Amino acid sequence: MKLKKIALGAAALALIACGETQKPVSKVAAITPNSTDDQKFAYMLGAQFGLQNFSNLPWQTGEAIDEDVVVQAFHDALGNMKDSTVKLQVPQDSLAVISRRIQNAMRERYIKVQPDTNVTKNLNNDQIRAYVDSLRKALPVNAAPAVKNEKVTLPEVPSEQQKFSYLIGFQFGNQFYGIGRQFETEFDGDYFVLGLRDAGKRVRDTTFTMTLSDDSLKAVGDRYMEKSKQMNEERMKKAKAEEEKLKAEVAGLRGDTLANGMPAKMNFKVKASGITVKGEDLSAFAQKPLLMFYFSATCGHCAHAAPQILEIAKEFAPKGLTTLSIASGGNNKPGIRRFIDDAKFDDNVSVMWDEARQFGELYSDGYVPKVYLVNPDGTYKQYAAFEREKDDLKKEIAELLAGKNVEWKIEVKQAADSAKVEAKPQAKKADAKAKAKK
């Protein structure tokens, strides 16, 4: 993990505030001589996120950010990551629409500040930068409201600025949570907010002194860069050992294999943790017509496919189809439950978790989503391109329920390889004829 890129990169969107009226507010978080390194690091992240984004986004997007809304969205995002019952004030699908709209605005404004070569052809680099800067400053920016340091409840119809600001805070919260997971800890969000608020003050007033100096922030960052390096080395060692252990575990589960090396049948003794159903393996789903959906809770394509899987499950459940969704091993329970909620899975779709990673090792190539249609005898067909194959899948489900087993006709590449081998002598003969002509 490259910490600076994580701290500065992913949420590129920001703040300029005008006419600010500060109100005293009691903060739980405070940097003192007794503050821990984790607290200082959380502060550093907030400061870096804020300084980078608050400075750049207004001119990039034309929209200054409501700092209070950013902070509220940050807290909402953290709460939602820890507990899926905590609802966001702006739904994630709406945030995705806002993000696309902002990206389009950024592209348009970027084009506007590109210098005219006829104007700059006789200018040196410093003059060109000054010219571009003048173009940038000439672009309008919608000013942000005064900072109140208060909790925010968005109106039923938020303004574009509020929705944009909420998107930024949501991104901050997700990044902050993700960084905590990488360090295998839970950093205190209040210290992040303290750094974020200080960054806002610095951007609005360049004479403002941050709680931690630039040198202190760098020192904290350097310590965590080194810590990250050491943890990554340990993870690599651990992952290698776990991979070897996993291969040994599934060796006895593989059975006969297909031409592509995958097991010829679904082995229902594969371990899986129950999410919406009880169970420690897949045995409850054996010996029945079965639709399986293998997904990751963080996969956009999976999120798009999930409602379609539910639609198919509802259509064919009355005719005898059982549908099982399996979350990949890299997920966690809160994330899986959020995915279930967003997909609106009901009793027609059972959900389990490949926590032991056995299913993925046997039946997946590391890419999701994957869909499988399984015959009662355990033989199956994999649909790696669900969107393109959905009509075929539905047709074959109907045939399976009518008593006709689905067949997976796997292309064997040996014939193609042989053709390549046979082509070489032909090429040599051609070369010989060419030389003879010479």
For the stretch 137-162, pLDDT in tens is 899 999 999 999 999 999 999 999 99
Q: What percent of the chain has pLDDT over 70?
A: 87
Question: Per-residue pLDDT for 133 more than 90?
Answer: no
Question: Per-residue pLDDT for 273 more than 60?
Answer: yes
For the chain, give the mean pLDDT: 87
User: 10 Å Cβ neighbour count for 44?
Assistant: 25
* Model pLDDT, residue 23: 43
Query: Does residue 192 contact residue 42 with C-beta atoms inside 8 Å?
Result: yes
Helix (H) or strand (E) holding 392: helix 386-401
**pLDDT band at residue 21 using 50, 70 and 90 as cut-offs:** very low
What amino acid is encoded at 97 in this protein? V
* Model pLDDT, residue 337: 94
* Model pLDDT, residue 411: 65
**pLDDT band at residue 410 using 50, 70 and 90 as cut-offs:** confident
Look at 4-13, 159-168, 180-189, 351-360 and tell me which has the smallest mean pLDDT: 4-13
* DSSP result, 256-303: SB-TTSSBSS--TTSB-EESSS--SBSGGG-SS-EEEEEE-TT-HHHH
* Model pLDDT, residue 412: 52
- Condensed to tens digits (0 to 9), the pLDDT of residues 201-230 reads 999 999 999 999 999 999 999 999 999 999
**pLDDT band at residue 118 using 50, 70 and 90 as cut-offs:** confident
- Condensed to tens digits (0 to 9), the pLDDT of residues 282-329 reads 999 999 999 999 999 999 999 999 999 999 999 999 999 999 999 999
The whole-angstrom separation of Cα 372 and Cα 350 is: 15
The whole-angstrom separation of Cα 282 and Cα 273 is: 9
**pLDDT band at residue 22 using 50, 70 and 90 as cut-offs:** very low
